[in-house]
Amino acid sequence: MGYPRVVSTFDDLIAANERVEPRDEMPDAYRATLVRQIAQHAHSEIIGMQPEGNWLTRAPSLRRKAILLAKVQDEAGHGLYLYAAAETLGVSRDELLDALHAGKQKYSSIFNYPTLTWADIGAIGWLVDGAAIVNQVPLCRCSYGPYARAMVRVCKEESFHQRQGFELLHTLSHGTEAQHAMAQDAVDRWWWPSLMMFGPPDDASTHTGQSMAWGIKRFSNDTLRQRFVDMTVPQAEALGLTLPDPELRWNEERSSWDFGEIDFTELFEVVKGNGPCNAQRLAHRVRAHEEGAWVREAASAYAEKRAAREVA
Amino acid sequence: MVSTSEPVGIAGAAVTDVAHYAIALGDDALIASQRLTEWITLAPQLEEDVALGNIALDLLGQARLLFQYAGSLLDPPVGEDDLAYFRDERAFRNVSLVERPNGDFAVTMARLLVFSAYQLELYSRLVQSTDSTLAAIAAKAVKEVAYHRDHARQWVLRLGDGTAESHARMQTALDAEWPWTAELFEAGWLAPELVAGGLAVDPAALAQPALAWVRAVVAEATLAEPEVRPAVSFGRVGRHTEEMGRLLAELQHLARSHPGATW
Amino acid sequence: MGDLWEVFVRPKRGLAHVHVGSIHATDAAMALRNARDVYTRRQEGVSLWVVPSAEITASSPDEQDSFFDPAADKAYRHPTFYEVPDGLHI
């Protein structure tokens, strides 16, 4: 019987598919890649609160209002789990937020699209969270321990998000004619952006190779995108809604769905800052941060006074 | 003084005194929740987005239970959403305090401090109600509002005894909200038999314990108790501030745009 | 935003507190409340600890070999090291 000896160098850990923990030595580039990815992920959760928050005060039933409130609140929680994971790499949340506010770090471009109707809340839950789950489940086995552990919590909670979105759309789709049309319109608008959430095609992706070697990324963009399409097409049928892609058809040979070409020029425009809501989302976040500064300062001042009194 | 059996605006439904009481408590919770919800994505720190979300969810849950119960007592019965979405402004029975616009974080905490202190005293007595449904709702709610009250206290202490700016803002907020707190403790709108029969709690009896607790927090926070006259307010009889119409327009418009739809 | 605090949750009675992540807070009272709101929204816990991250003394990965490897060859500490006759439950 063997008691495995503890492996210790970074390369050994990666080769043995072991987790890297905060105090382990790691290459600077590995650390930088993780900071970039975890921060972007955390920022996405925080900015992602806005398009859904847009409907919180207008939810059409008290039950839906409670569900949406719990969901948006979860997103703040996920952001916090992820910032905490990033902080184990030696950056502070303040630095990361400053970078977000200064436009130096990115968040998922999907949140630069507006939520125009209530059905968008369903489409975000079903498609955007659905795509996020496909992206995120492999991250539960990511090589960096704190990130992997945060993702386990996030994924557990996200599955509620996707289901509520599906249920919401199902209700609309089987409701009045106006509700059905609202649901179809939302799916028409969110389908292609959600496919773009998996990033550029593999042959154009800049980070994939090294991230795969380091065990940060487990599957390529196109593999995950296909997985999402295959998962979603039958769900759309169950919803009684049409996905806006005339080229969508079952490929017997591949046992997968073929789908039309994605217009990545739009994605790149949105990434560059020219999406419908880029400026609005960032300005809203900066406003919250700036208007809250006096509150955070008060809490610090109070703590200092209390500590001083305890010493005295 | 208005008749306690005045219709609350659900067409054709007769409103009992008990339903009227549950609706008033539910309206307080719903409107307070709606205002807190407006904070989400704008809180001073992310932890506070989560905390305010928790409080808003608790209050929303209380409103739903109270509306479900009130709706079941109406003839014909109506659902929680009928009460929330299809009553007009004049039929809402919440105190004006909870509908006032958010203002800065100090205003929200000043309001939560007094409102949660009132709710804690209310629910901790309502658990003894002769009405077993109200007693059960209160038993659940009392734990929730104890946490809300603590949350408000923590922040009022920090803002009051924090920086010069936060102290000034907290004092201004307290001064502005204080006149609107008196309505919480008015009893004129409530059928006296409900109190006498042990079904409802006399709001007037809550003033002393609730305000004693609030005053202690205010003093500990190095703030001054406002010396202001109570505002003339009639929320409990359905005469609201001008802000209420806008709040309801936002809350109700989607549901009202699709009458008869389910969501 | 305050200092960093490590959060430990006791998932249910009878189990130990487990590290779940960290939180920012300016003082212990707020740290506890923030931890409650962020880490126990789904009844994940019945008890919480918060500890200032700076107060934790951790073993260093550099010392990993000398700290932990010496335990590796002491298989006799484990019950499975010992042979017992078949059918006996010891």
Q: pLDDT tens, A132-166?
A: 999 999 999 999 999 999 999 999 888 889 999 99
pLDDT of residue A7: 47
Could you give the CA distance from residue A159 to residue A170 in angstroms, rounded to a whole number? 17
CB distance B166–A284 less than 8 Å? no
Measured N-to-C along each axis, helices C28-39 and B46-73 cross at an angle, to the nearest 10 degrees, of 60
Chain A and chain B share a number of CB contacts under 8 A equal to 140
Neighbors of chain B with 3 or more C-beta pairs under 8 Å: A, C
* pLDDT of amino acid B6: 47
Whether residues C34 and B47 touch (CB distance < 8 A) is answered with yes
CB B44 within 8 A of CB B1: no
Beta bridge partners of C21: C7
Q: Which residues from chain C sit within 8 angstroms of residue B54, using beta carbons?
A: 37, 41
pTM summary value: 0.93
pLDDT tens-digit readout, A34-58: 999 999 999 999 999 999 999 999 9
Report ipTM (2 d.p.): 0.94
Distance, CA of A69 to CA of B53 (rounded, Å):
7
CATH code reported for the domain at B17-257? 1.20.1260.10
% of chain A residues with pLDDT over 70? 97
SS (H, E, C) B13-37: CECCHHHHHHHHHHHHHHHHHHHHH
Reply yes or no on whether the pLDDT at B1 is more than 50.
Answer: no
pLDDT for B9 beyond 60 = no
- pLDDT, chain C, mean: 88
Q: Could you report how far apart the first and last alpha carbons of chain A are, in Å?
A: 60
Contact (CB, 8 A) for A39 and A93 = no
Q: Averaged over A72-86, what is the pLDDT?
A: 96
Partner residue opposite C1 with nearest CB, options A84, A93, A157? A93
Question: A260: buried, middle or exposed (CB in 10 Å: 19+, 13-18, 0-12)?
Answer: middle
Q: Are the Cβ atoms of C75 and A1 closer than 8 angstroms?
A: yes
Nearest one of A212, A292, A2, C63 to B45, comparing CA atoms: A292
Q: Which residues of B touch A179 (CB under 8 A)?
A: 258, 261
Do residue C72 and residue A5 have CB atoms under 8 angstroms apart?
yes
Tell whether B41 lies on the interface with A, counting CB pairs under 8 A: yes
- The residues, any chain, with a CB within 8 Å of residue A54's CB and separated by 6 or more, are A114, A115
pLDDT for position A8: 63
Residue B129 CA to residue B137 CA, distance in Å, equals: 10
